[in-house]
C-alpha cells in the first residue's frame, strides 16, 4: 500500500516521474492503458491552452474574472482520471482540468467566469457540484454525499478538492472528522499550490506536511508530487479503490505550484520572487508528462503542435459562443438549484424581479 510506504510523518513523498519525465522506480508506475494516458495528456494540454486564453480574454476586458490553473494540471487531471463516471466531483474553484476531464463543457466553464449563472447548470450525467468559492465549505457537502451513498448502499466515491489555505478553515477539520467517524467514501485532495492569495504555505500550519493532518482524524494520508501526473493518479486510484470497498476516506496532499496569479485581480510579483517561479517552471507537469509519452512512442512534437492549434480554435469558438449567448433569464437563476423553489427563494425571486422591473425593493 502506497499510504504505508510513504508515511508523511517520515518526510516521504510519492514521486514517480522526475522533472525530465524519467521513471524513478518502475514498480510504482500505475497501470494505465495507452489510450487513457493520451486522454489524460490531452486534457492537461486543453487545460493549459484554455487557461492562457481565459487570462487573455479577461485582460482584454471580455471576461469578468478568472482563477488561473497553470502549473496545477497534473494534480487536477491525474486525480479525477483515477475515478469513474459514477463518482462525484466536489470542487473548490481552481480545478479546470478536473472539470474538463469529468465532462463539463468548456462553454459552461467560460459562462461561469463570464458572470453567467447558467455556467453552473451542468449536464445531468456530469456528477459535479457547482464551483465553490467560500473556502472549504464544499468539504462538508462532499462528506454529506458520502453519508448518503453509505445509507443507499451504493458504491460511488466522492473526490473533494481544497487548497492549502482551506486546510486552516474549521470546515476542513469538521469534514475530515465526520468522514472518519462515518467511514464515508471520500477522497480529499489538497491542492497545495504554496499560496492562499499572498499568504505562503508556511503561515497555514507549523506541521511539516498537510497530509499528516489525516493522522489526528484516524484516516490514511499521503503526500505526492503534484506535478507528477502518474504519482497523483497512483495515490488517488489506491484511495478510490479503498473507498469503494467500504474502507473509508483518505487525505491526499499534492505538492504543486501556482505559476500564475491567484485571480485576475492579483499581482504575485508583490509577494514572491521571480526566481522561485522560474524554479517551479522547470518542474512543469505538462513538459514532464509529454517527455514520458514521447519516450513511450505515444506522442511526438509535431502532434503536439497540431493538437495545440486545434485546441486554440476550440477554445476561441467556445468563448465566442459565450459572448454571443446574451443575458440569462432571471427565473433561471433562481430555479435551477432545486426541483421546486424553497419559500425563501420564491420571496427573493419576487423581490429581485420587482427591483429589476420597477427599480424598487
Ligand atoms: C470563507 C472564505 N474566506 C475568505 C475567502 C477569500 N478567499 C478567496 S480565495 C482565498 C485563498 C484560498 O487559498 P487556497 O485554499 O490555498 O486555494 P487557492 O486559491 O490557492 O487555490 C481566500 C482567503 C473566501 N472565498 N471564503
Q: For the chain, which domains are there?
A: 2-326 (3.40.50.970), 329-361 (no CATH)
Please give the grid coordinates belonging to residue 115: 458572470
How far is the C-alpha of 117 from the C-alpha of 278, rounded, in Å?
37
Tell me the best of 196, 260, 266 to mutate to test the pocket of ligand 1, counting ligand atoms within 8 Å of each CB and taking the most. Answer: 196
Pocket of ligand 1 (CB under 6 A): 94, 133-135, 163-166, 193, 195-197, 258, 262
Rg (CA), the chain: 21
Strand pairing of 186-192 and 250-255?
Answer: parallel
Strand partners, 192: 255
Burial code (b: 16+ CB inside 10 Å, e: under 16) for 173-184 equals bebbebbbebbb
Rounded to the nearest 10°, the torsion over CA 168, 143, 40, 223 is 40
Nearest CA, atom 17, ligand 1: 163
Q: Could you tell me the CA-to-CA distances from 35 to 31, 41, 128 in Å, in that order?
A: 12, 10, 24
pLDDT at 25: 95
pLDDT at 361: 57
Nearest CA, atom 20, ligand 1: 196
Interval between CA 166 and ligand 1 midpoint (Å): 7
Task: Respond yes or no: is residue 233 known to be catalytic.
Answer: no
Cell 425571486, residue located: 349
Tally of CA atoms within 13 A in the half-sphere of 185 that contains its CB: 27
Nearest CA, atom 12, ligand 1: 196
Interval between CA 169 and ligand 1 midpoint (Å): 10
Which residues of the chain carry a pLDDT beneath 70?
Answer: 360-361
Cell 504543486, residue located: 256
Burial code (b: 16+ CB inside 10 Å, e: under 16) for 199-212 equals eebeebeeeebbbb
Interval between CA 200 and ligand 1 midpoint (Å): 12
pLDDT at 337: 78
From the CA of 166, give the closest atom in ligand 1.
15
Residues ≥6 apart with Cβ < 8 Å to 298: 34, 37, 38
Q: Which of 48, 94, 141, 258 is catalytic?
A: 258
**C-beta of residue 209 within 8 angstroms of C-beta of residue 253:** yes
Task: Respond yes or no: is residue 271 known to be catalytic.
Answer: yes
Interval between CA 65 and ligand 1 midpoint (Å): 15
How far is the C-alpha of 66 from the C-alpha of 87, rounded, in Å?
27
pLDDT at 60: 95
Nearest CA, atom 13, ligand 1: 196
Interval between CA 174 and ligand 1 midpoint (Å): 17
Residue 231, φ and ψ in degrees, nearest 5: -65, -40
Task: Respond yes or no: is residue 258 known to be catalytic.
Answer: yes
What angle in degrees, to the nearest 10, is found between the helix axes of 285-295 and 229-244?
A: 90
Nearest CA, atom 23, ligand 1: 196
pLDDT at 356: 86
Q: Which of 141, 262, 288, 290 is catalytic?
A: 262
Cα 225 to chain centroid, rounded: 15
Interval between CA 135 and ligand 1 midpoint (Å): 5
Strands, DSSP E only, in 164-307?
186-192, 195-196, 199-200, 221-225, 250-255
Tell me the best of 66, 71, 135, 160 to mutate to test the pocket of ligand 1, counting ligand atoms within 8 Å of each CB and taking the most. Answer: 135
Amino acid at each position: 500500500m502506497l499510504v504505508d510506504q510513504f508515511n508523511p510523518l517520515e518526510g516521504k513523498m510519492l514521486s514517480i516521474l522526475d522533472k525530465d519525465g524519467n521513471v524513478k522506480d518502475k514498480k510504482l508506475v500505475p497501470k494505465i492503458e495507452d489510450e487513457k494516458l493520451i486522454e489524460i495528456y490531452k486534457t492537461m494540454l486543453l487545460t493549459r491552452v484554455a487557461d492562457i486564453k481565459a487570462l487573455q480574454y479577461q485582460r482584454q476586458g471580455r471576461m469578468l474574472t478568472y482563477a488561473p490553473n497553470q502549473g496545477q494540471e497534473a494534480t487536477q487531471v491525474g486525480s479525477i482520471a483515477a475515478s469513474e463516471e459514477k463518482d462525484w466531483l466536489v470542487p473548490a474553484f481552481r480545478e479546470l482540468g478536473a472539470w474538463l476531464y469529468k465532462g463539463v463543457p468548456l462553454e459552461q466553464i467560460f459562462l461561469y467566469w463570464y458572470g453567467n449563472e447558467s455556467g453552473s447548470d451542468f449536464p445531468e450525467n456530469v456528477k459535479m457540484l457547482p464551483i465553490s468559492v467560500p473556502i472549504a465549505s464544499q468539504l462538508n457537502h462532499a462528506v454529506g454525499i458520502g453519508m448518503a451513498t453509505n445509507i443507499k448502499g451504493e458504491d460511488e466515491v466522492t473526490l473533494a478538492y481544497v487548497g492549502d489555505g482551506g486546510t486552516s478553515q474549521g470546515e476542513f477539520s469538521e469534514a475530515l472528522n465526520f468522514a472518519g467517524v462515518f467511514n464515508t467514501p471520500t477522497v480529499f485532495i489538497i491542492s497545495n499550490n504554496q499560496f492562499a492569495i499572498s499568504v505562503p504555505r508556511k503561515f497555514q500550519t507549523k506541521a511539516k506536511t498537510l497530509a499528516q493532518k489525516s493522522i489526528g482524524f484516524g484516516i490514511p494520508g499521503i503526500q505526492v508530487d503534484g506535478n507528477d501526473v502518474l504519482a497523483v493518479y497512483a495515490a488517488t486510484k489506491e484511495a478510490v479503490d479503498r473507498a469503494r470497498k467500504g474502507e473509508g476516506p483518505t487525505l491526499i496532499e499534492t505538492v504543486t505550484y501556482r505559476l500564475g496569479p491567484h485571480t485576475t485581480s492579483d499581482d504575485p510579483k508583490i509577494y514572491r520572487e521571480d526566481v522561485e517561479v522560474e524554479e517551479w517552471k522547470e518542474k512543469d507537469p505538462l513538459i514532464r508528462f509529454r517527455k514520458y509519452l514521447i519516450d513511450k512512442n505515444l506522442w511526438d512534437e509535431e502532434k503536439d503542435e497540431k493538437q495545440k492549434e486545434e485546441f486554440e480554435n476550440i477554445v476561441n469558438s467556445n468563448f465566442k459562443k459565450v459572448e454571443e449567448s446574451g443575458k440569462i433569464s432571471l427565473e433561471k437563476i433562481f430555479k435551477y438549484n432545486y426541483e421546486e423553489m424553497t419559500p425563501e427563494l420564491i420571496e427573493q425571486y419576487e423581490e429581485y424581479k420587482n427591483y429589476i422591473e420597477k427599480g424598487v425593493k
